[in-house]
Structure 1
Amino acid sequence: MKQNNRPKYKQIIDAAIIVIAENGYHQAQVSKIAKQARVADGTIYLYFKNKEDILVSLFREKMGSFIREMEKEIPSKQTASEKLLMLIEKHFTLLAANNKLAIVTQLELRQSSKQLRYRINEILKRYLDIVDDIISFGKQAGEFDRKLNSRLARQMIFGTIDETVTTWVMNEQKYNLIELAKEVHELLIWGFRKRLFET
């Protein structure tokens, strides 16, 4: 496979997002992706093994870029609350700016095979590591309850963000996703913060 820093690689990735979003993963033939990317069918196989590899690669490309941005920017925030708000806002902004990418990540990836989902989960691990770091920071700083179940908190953060985007996609993006960021943030922070009275 050729290096993924080549222009045609990104061209095919962007084409695949459009074709999969418009046709569904199972109906998105490689020939359709090639046509959208304006390359020969055979060119696809210089960069990807098969259609499954294209789907995993586009997720790795887009999520990887997002994760690198978060790893760079989140440390500049002083509190766990600020870090979490940035994560939510940036996540919503990424998908609100590209509704076809949102359709692929929220709907089409869910219909993939168990083996493919396993590969997707491997990519998500770095995202969840960022969430874990925010939770740990909040507990150490006294912002979050020290007895907070970190694993459950991580599931609540990711699950809430993910479901909010999925609902937005299912509702055909009829409302402003980014405007929900602060409300989602407040709901999560309310549940995590240090309890004033022990029961």
Structure 2
Amino acid sequence: MVKKDKPKYRQIVDAAVIVIAENGYHQAQVSKIARQAGVADGTIYLYFKNKEDILISVFQEKMGMFVSKLEEILSKESTASEKLGSMIESHFSLLASDIHLAIVTQLELRQSNAEIRMRINGVLREYLKLMDKILILGMENGEFDKTMDIRLARQMVFGTMDETITTWVMNDQKYDLVELAPKVHRMLMKGMRT
């Protein structure tokens, strides 16, 4: 396997997002991905074992953007509430700016088999651990209820964001997703304050 920091690897990952979003995961043939990436079919196999490996790599690469952005938010001097608001806005902005990625993360990944979902959950766990840091900070400094169940709070935050984005995708992006970020933040804060 060729190193994953090569330009063609990123080209293939970006092409896979488009092909999977436009055709659905099950109809996204490797040959279509190769055509979209502008590479020969065989080139795909220099970087990926199979189509499942492509889907997992897509998620790892793209989720890396979310993790990096959240790490940046966590590094800033701000309150837990401000960090939470920035996280929601960042998450919504990243997906609003790439509808193909939004379709893949919100719809296509959910249709994959259990083994793929397990591997994807491992990647998602890193993002959720960072989210926990915001929640713990808020509990420690008195912004959030000190007795709240961290696991339940995480599910509430991530689940609300996830459902809001999925609804936006399912409604053909008829409204501005990023404009909803402050409203989602306000509602979540009401549920977590003491």
**What interval of TM-score do these two structures reach, taking the shorter chain for normalisation?**
over 0.9
Give every structure 1 segment of 4 or more consecutive aligned residues whose post-TM-superposition deviation is greater than 6 Å.
Answer: none
Residue equivalent to 1:97:
97
Residue equivalent to 1:150:
150
CA contact (8 A) 2:168 2:177 kept: yes
Aligned-residue RMSD, C-alpha: 0.7
Query: Residue deviations 1:19-57, cap 9 Å, x none?
Result: 100100000000000011110000000000100000110
Residue equivalent to 1:21:
21
Aligned length: 194
CA contact (8 A) 2:69 2:90 kept: no
The alpha carbon displacement at 1:3 in A equals: 1.1
Determine if the alignment matches structure 1 residue 43 to structure 2 residue 77: no
CA contact (8 A) 1:16 1:54 kept: yes
Could you tell me how far apart the structure 2 residues matched to 1:152 and 1:171 are? 28
Could you tell me how far apart the structure 1 residues matched to 2:192 and 2:85 are? 14
Determine if the alignment matches structure 1 residue 56 to structure 2 residue 74: no
Q: Residue 26 of structure 1: SS of its match in structure 2?
A: helix
Q: Residue 25 of structure 2: SS of its match in structure 1?
A: coil
Could you tell me how far apart the structure 1 residues matched to 2:131 and 2:70 are? 10
Residue equivalent to 1:161:
161
CA contact (8 A) 1:74 1:86 kept: no
Residue equivalent to 1:187:
187
Could you tell me how far apart the structure 1 residues matched to 2:120 and 2:184 are? 25
Could you tell me how far apart the structure 2 residues matched to 1:41 and 1:95 are? 29
CA contact (8 A) 1:89 1:178 kept: yes
The alpha carbon displacement at 1:131 in A equals: 1.2
Could you tell me how far apart the structure 2 residues matched to 1:12 and 1:88 are? 28
The alpha carbon displacement at 1:167 in A equals: 0.3
Residue equivalent to 1:32:
32
CA contact (8 A) 2:96 2:102 kept: yes
Could you tell me how far apart the structure 1 residues matched to 2:75 and 2:143 are? 16
Could you tell me how far apart the structure 2 residues matched to 1:177 and 1:69 are? 18
Could you tell me how far apart the structure 1 residues matched to 2:179 and 2:115 are? 35
Amino acid across the alignment from 1:72 = E
Where do 5+ consecutive residues of structure 1 fail to align?
Answer: 195-199
Task: Give me the TM-score of the superposition, normalised by structure 2.
Answer: 0.98
Could you tell me how far apart the structure 2 residues matched to 1:86 and 1:146 are? 22
Amino acid across the alignment from 1:124 = L
Could you tell me how far apart the structure 1 residues matched to 2:6 and 2:177 are? 33
Could you tell me how far apart the structure 1 residues matched to 2:58 and 2:77 are? 29
Could you tell me how far apart the structure 2 residues matched to 1:154 and 1:77 are? 22
CA contact (8 A) 1:96 1:177 kept: yes
